[in-house]
Amino acid sequence: MRTRPTRPLRQLPALRGGAVGAVALTALLALAGCSSHGGTQAGPQPARSLSDAQAAAVPDERATPAPAGPSARPQTPSKAAAGPVVPDARLTPATGSFTAEEKKYLHGRVPAHMDPAAVLQVGQEACQRIGRTAAHDKDAAVGALITGEVPNADAAIGQLCPTLKPLLATAATGFPDGTRKDPRPGSYRALTGTGGCTWQALGADGEVLASGPGTGGAKKVTAKVPAGTRAFVTSGCYAWLPA
């Protein structure tokens, strides 16, 4: 009996990025990333799809650890790509031309032997993802900037979509879920609408100065950090902003 050859199963692309504290925020970010093209790129340019190797070569603005002061996010992200980069004179697309803002974004950012338009596409997609997320839920967009969930977002917003700069300014006042050393005393709110967010304010000897799941139920989690707090430890809260 002859057997019919079977077709290989089509493999689904691997998901990138870690899980966030709130499923609803993840869904919004996924929805915002559905459309990949149509940002600020100048001139008619063919659609491109980054390979895993190309995506890995694009410098990640969140690669450096956040400082330990009241603001969790670096104000000036690193621009340099690791290793040799494409000189400015060769920053030209296959068709059309780059705008002045796009050239500023690409300066020192394109690894050698990589298409500058592919690197620009990463920045454009970051703008689209943050912008569309903010249209649905501003807190979700700010939280994504605080946690670094959208790579290259800081630099992309600065050069490619400056209308989103107010979101960066807000995110600069917040910090991600986890352990925060020497937090500024005051009230904070978690950027999640789900249950499971817990927090503790610990003193110099590790004593619990304040704790709780927040006030107002699962839809609004707030915490009051008293003076003398040496560590603000949170879990399941995604990110925090001053209340």
Mean pLDDT in order along the chain per 10 residues (243 residues): 46 37 51 47 42 50 41 41 84 89 93 92 96 95 95 92 96 96 95 83 95 68 94 94 94
> 3-state secondary structure string, the chain?
CCCCCCCCCCCCCCCCCCCCCCHHHHHHHHHHCCCCCCCCCCCCCCCCCCCHHHHHHCCCCCCCCCCCCCCCCCCCCCCCCCCCECCHHHCCCCCCCCCHHHHHHHCCCCECCCCHHHHHHHHHHHHHHHHHHHHHCHHHHHHHHHHCCCCCHHHHHHHCCHHHHHHHHHHCCCEECCEEECCCCEEEEECCCCCCCEEEEECCCCCEEEEECCCCCCCCCEEEECCCCCEEEEECCCEEEEC
The predicted model scores a pTM of 0.67
- For residue 8, the model assigns a pLDDT of 43
- For residue 237, the model assigns a pLDDT of 92
**CA pair distance 98, 86, nearest whole angstrom:** 15
pLDDT, tens digit (0-9, with 9 covering 90-100), for 25-47: 555 555 555 444 444 444 334 43
- 172 backbone dihedrals φ, ψ, rounded to 5°: -65, -20
CB 22 within 8 A of CB 76: no
- For residue 156, the model assigns a pLDDT of 95
- For residue 152, the model assigns a pLDDT of 86
- For residue 15, the model assigns a pLDDT of 36
Place of tokens 């107010």: 166
- For residue 123, the model assigns a pLDDT of 95
**CA pair distance 176, 234, nearest whole angstrom:** 9
- For residue 72, the model assigns a pLDDT of 43
- For residue 96, the model assigns a pLDDT of 87
